[in-house]
Structure 1
Amino acid sequence: MLITNMREKRLDRGRISLIHIASIFALLAILVLSVINKSNAQQVNQVENMTQSEVVKIASRWFGMSSESVAEVMDVIFNKHGGPSAYIRGEEAGGAFVIGARYGRGELVMSDGHSEPVYWRGPTIGPDYGGNAAKTFTLIYNLQNPDDLFRRYPGVDGSAFFIAGLAVNFQERGDVILAPIRAGVGGRLGVNVGYLKYSRKAGKIPF
Structure 2
Amino acid sequence: MFAKFKASCAKGVAALMLAAGMMLSGAAGASADDGTYTMQEIIDSGHGFFGSTSGGLASVIEKAFASYGLPNGYVLGEEGSGAIVGGVTYGEGTLYTKNAGDHTVFWQGPSVGWDFGGQGSRTMMLVYNLDTVPNLYKRYVGVAGSAYAIAGLGFNVLKHGDVLLVPVRTGVGARLGLNIGYLKLTQAPTWNPF
Please classify the TM superposition score into its range, dividing by the shorter chain length.
0.7 to 0.9
> Which of 103, 128, 150 is the aligned partner of 1:141?
128
CA distance in 1, matches of 2:162, 2:82: 30
Match of 1:69 in 2: 56
CA spacing shift, 1:84–1:113, aligned 2, 3 Å: same
With the length of structure 2 as denominator, give the TM-score of the two structures: 0.78
Match of 2:90 in 1: 103
CA distance in 2, matches of 1:174, 1:143: 10
Match of 1:196 in 2: 183
CA contact (8 A) 1:132 1:187 kept: yes
CA contact (8 A) 2:100 2:133 kept: no
Aligned length: 162
The residue type equivalent to 2:153 in the other structure is L
With the length of structure 1 as denominator, give the TM-score of the two structures: 0.73
CA distance in 1, matches of 2:134, 2:181: 22
CA contact (8 A) 1:133 1:184 kept: yes
CA distance in 2, matches of 1:131, 1:109: 28
The residue type equivalent to 1:79 in the other structure is A
In structure 1, list runs of 5 or more residues that go unmatched.
1-45
CA distance in 1, matches of 2:177, 2:38: 30
CA distance in 2, matches of 1:118, 1:169: 19
CA distance in 1, matches of 2:122, 2:90: 12
CA distance in 2, matches of 1:70, 1:78: 12
Match of 1:51 in 2: 38
Question: 1:1-207 counterparts in 2 under 5 A?
Answer: 48-65=35-52, 69-112=56-99, 114-186=101-173, 188=175, 191=178, 193-207=180-194
RMSD: 1.8
The residue type equivalent to 1:59 in the other structure is G
CA spacing shift, 1:74–1:173, aligned 2, 3 Å: same
More strand per residue: 2
1:60-113 per-position Cα deviation (integer Å, ceiling 9, x unaligned): 110003765211101110000011000000000010012100000000111226
- Percent identity, please: 41
CA distance in 2, matches of 1:103, 1:176: 20
CA distance in 1, matches of 2:69, 2:135: 20
CA distance in 2, matches of 1:131, 1:65: 22
